[in-house]
Structure 1
Amino acid sequence: MEDEYEWPTVTCDYSGWTHVPACDKKRVHEFAAMFLPRFYYVIFSLSLLGNGLVLFVVIKFERIRTVTNIFLLNLVGSNLILTFGLPFWAMYHQDGWTFGLPLCKLVGTANYVSFYSSVLFLTLLTIDRYLAVVHALAVSQHRKSCYAVVASGCVWLICGLAGVGPLLRYNVELDWEDTTKTLCTEKRDPSWKALDTYLHFAAFFLLPLVVVVYCYVRIIVTVLSTQINNKHRTLRIIFVILLLFFTCWTPYNIVQLVDHKMSLDCNDSIVYAGYVTHNITVLYFCINPVFYTFLGRKFQNYARTLVVGYAPCLKNHLSVAANSRSLSYRSPPSL
């Protein structure tokens, strides 16, 4: 009888290994459930009011088929896409995701597309103002509405393609901390996460930021070299626009880069920073058309006209220009 073969014994020493527990995000989720729903409902109301007012004023008083108004209306539409998703996220942070997989993918992707398109439409509005102020004579015959329509179509195409990735990645799964709830989460492939993060950082933050800063610096130089009245007021408006764009959009992108670098760490501070900066960005994109329109005297006069029209008793307290309906963006833009 042949001797049975004896398999070699391998001994592993696990004494130097450290047990790494799963990240406990209970406190972070409790913070989100307490704070975010109220915040989203408030922003939803403010956004509907602000964007609705801008939309109503442009349609009532302005010629829609001008370059600036085409970009402005697309910006309002982009922000409303983000706005209509806020109630879903508010209920999600309260009770988990109860709307099924199709809405999870749709609302999650719409969040990305709205962010990206808002940034690009703000950039196009800035370029339009730059051309109208710095190169007013050279481009006056070339600022046609057809170009604005084509540019807007390109923006939606680019943002739609950028949203294909999130559309494929969003999924519904059980919450391992509370199996009675389901989550709508975006799962990224680690091998593609770095490329995706850096590509979006460059295309939708760094490039628009450089363009916006360059255009407004040139506008400032042009305004200072002319005999325009109220130069200081114009410069203050430009400063406010730049400050809002930089302070509201920059922190979110920086946190995204840091989160990519520390994705394997159980760092609650990064999660909290992500929540805070994301919601500052949501607030900015939902109400930025108000800043970009009603900082100008023309739109302020439109607002006074509306108030006086619906409340004649305030006529003696509000000054309204007699030719408010005749103003349009074909005249040099009132920054």
Structure 2
Amino acid sequence: MENLTSSSTSSLDSTSPNSGRLISSTVLGLCCALGLPGNIAVLVVILPVLVVILRRSSRRPNFTLCLMLNLASSDVLCLATVPVWIYTLLHGWTLGRAACKLATFLLYLSLYANVLTVTLLGVQRYLQVLYPQMWNRLGRKGEAVLLLALWGLACALTAPAVATRDVRDGELKCQRHTGSDAERVAVLLLETLLGFVVPFSVLVTSYCCLHRRVNQTALFSSAKLTRLVTSVVVAFFILWIPVHIVNVVDIAGIVLQTSWPEASAALLRHRSAAARVVRTFTFFNSCLDPFLYAFASRRIREQPKSSSRGDSRMQVTNI
């Protein structure tokens, strides 16, 4: 995620060509214009349904519905910061040190919450379909604790980004400043491992196990479900892996500075060029999410039946 504010906001530097900054700001503006209404629509559609369900004390709300709401909320938070980054692209960072840290915190919080929510969708689907009794033991309070823990973990994961992001005297950049190359490498590795490798591994493992197990039963009868599951994994992979590939290139460039200075310079140069392209991918992911995770399911408003067998079948076709 280093590219998100180091290259998409602070690399938002004055040395970038005006045309490049205009193109980037235009793309970000389109993401915001399309994504904010889409995600707000998800909140408007899902929130009233969730409120009605919660008022029925005899019925437990569909946790997938809660996760859709959580995903839309994190996307709204992410896209709400876009005007700040567009302004910075065009005028540099003139908002001060505190605003730099606050904007960084909000951006990283939304991105980590987004990734963790998608990951929890995979884990929850796996457990609800294959081990419904285990999941049901959580209860409403357990599910609420899961959501609170998700946002708490997202807050904790933002700490390295906020701690290292600053505005230096005389600079119009809100960018990362580390005490050493080793510290920079450590932060980049942490972001790549916790922001992509671990969540994606959990997501793929959950869906692969689910597909293998469910495909052997009569429960797996919806081609639409297959498309939805595939879209979740493919969209997450396509839109996030370029960002972390750039992180890996950055790490390689730093590590090779002493032993292979020419190769290091070339890698860092290509990294800077690539970062200008991939920085918008995560914002586009937030723009795309409402279509993939909410509107793709026609039966999102339906709730599981009271019987355990009916509950399992509904969750298979509706989650």
Q: Rg bigger for which structure?
A: 1
- Quote how far apart the aligned CAs of 1:89 are: 0.2
What count of residue pairs does the alignment treat as equivalent? 279
Separation (CA, whole Å) in 1 of partners of 2:21 and 2:95 = 17
Separation (CA, whole Å) in 1 of partners of 2:83 and 2:273 = 21
**1:142 matched residue in structure 2:** 137
**1:210 matched residue in structure 2:** 201
Unaligned stretches of 5+ in structure 1? 1-24, 177-181, 300-324
The structure carrying a bigger helix percent of its residues is 2
Q: Which has the higher contact order (CA 8 A, sep 6+)?
A: 2
**Structure 2 matches for 1:176-191, cutoff 5 A?**
182-189=172-179, 190-191=181-182
- Quote how far apart the aligned CAs of 1:164 are: 2.4
Alignment of 1:294 onto 2:292: no
Task: Give the conservation status (yes or no) of the 8 Å contact 1:134–1:218.
Answer: no
Separation (CA, whole Å) in 2 of partners of 1:59 and 1:174 = 45
**1:10 matched residue in structure 2:** none
Task: Give the conservation status (yes or no) of the 8 Å contact 1:197–1:260.
Answer: yes
SS at match of 2:137: coil
Unaligned stretches of 5+ in structure 2? 1-12, 55-60, 255-263, 306-310
Aligned partner of 2:39: which letter? N
**1:195 matched residue in structure 2:** 186
- Quote how far apart the aligned CAs of 1:61 are: 2.9
**1:239 matched residue in structure 2:** 230
Aligned partner of 1:108: which letter? T
Root mean square deviation, CA, Å = 2.4
Task: Give the conservation status (yes or no) of the 8 Å contact 2:160–2:187.
Answer: no
**Alignment equivalent of 2:95, drawn from 99, 115, 120:** 99
Alignment of 1:69 onto 2:60: no
**Structure 2 matches for 1:276-315, cutoff 5 A?**
276-299=277-300
Task: Give the conservation status (yes or no) of the 8 Å contact 1:43–1:286.
Answer: yes
SS at match of 1:219: helix
- Quote how far apart the aligned CAs of 1:229 are: 7.0
- Quote how far apart the aligned CAs of 1:329 are: 5.3
Alignment of 1:222 onto 2:217: no
- Quote how far apart the aligned CAs of 1:70 are: 2.7
**1:164 matched residue in structure 2:** 159
Task: Give the conservation status (yes or no) of the 8 Å contact 2:167–2:174.
Answer: yes
Identity, in percent, stands at 23
Aligned partner of 2:18: which letter? E
Range with greater deviation from structure 2 (79-88 or 60-69): 60-69
Aligned partner of 1:116: which letter? Y
Separation (CA, whole Å) in 2 of partners of 1:143 and 1:67 = 11
Alignment of 1:127 onto 2:123: yes
Range with greater deviation from structure 2 (58-67 or 76-85): 58-67
CA-to-aligned-CA distance 1:183-233 (integer Å, 9 cap, x gap): 221212323122222222222211111111111112222332222474333
Superposition TM-score, scaled by structure 2 size: 0.79
Task: Give the conservation status (yes or no) of the 8 Å contact 1:70–1:148.
Answer: no
Alignment of 1:58 onto 2:43: no
Superposition TM-score, scaled by structure 1 size: 0.75
**2:259 matched residue in structure 1:** none
Distance 1:203 1:245, change over 3 A: same
**Structure 2 matches for 1:253-264, cutoff 5 A?**
253-263=244-254
Aligned partner of 1:53: which letter? A
Separation (CA, whole Å) in 2 of partners of 1:132 and 1:78 = 24
Separation (CA, whole Å) in 1 of partners of 2:135 and 2:81 = 39
